Amino acid sequence: MANVTPCRVGTRRLFETLEKITAGEGTMDDLDNMEQLCYMIKDSALCGLGQTAPNPILSTMNYFHQEYVDYVTGQKKPSIQSLKINVSVVQRV
């Protein structure tokens, strides 16, 4: 049971942080913490699912980092439609 804890709890924390960011309540520290958490999950997970679960977040943070920064700094507000799509995709994982 302890072997799945980093993935089970970590992915939940990632989801909560993404919700916080898309609600306009995120901070730059949240971005740093989310990236560190992604690598912690990847490094500590024993199964393939746990090792790849953070990949979508890491990929978007790599290729669209400015989008994250814009949400956190309030320079960009998400549309209701994009929020529905983003949250529904994460909830399925």
Q: What is the pLDDT of residues 25-54, one digit of tens each?
A: 889 999 999 999 999 999 988 888 888 889
* CA 53 – CA 84 distance, rounded (Å): 20
Query: Does residue 53 sit in helix, strand or coil?
Result: coil
Q: What is the pLDDT of residue 7?
A: 83
Q: Which residues contact 86 (CB under 8 A, 6 or more apart)?
A: 18, 22, 78
Q: What is the pLDDT of residue 17?
A: 92
The answer to whether domain 5-92 has CATH 1.10.468.10 is no
- Structural domain boundaries of the chain? 5-92
pTM for the model stands at: 0.75
* CA 67 – CA 89 distance, rounded (Å): 18
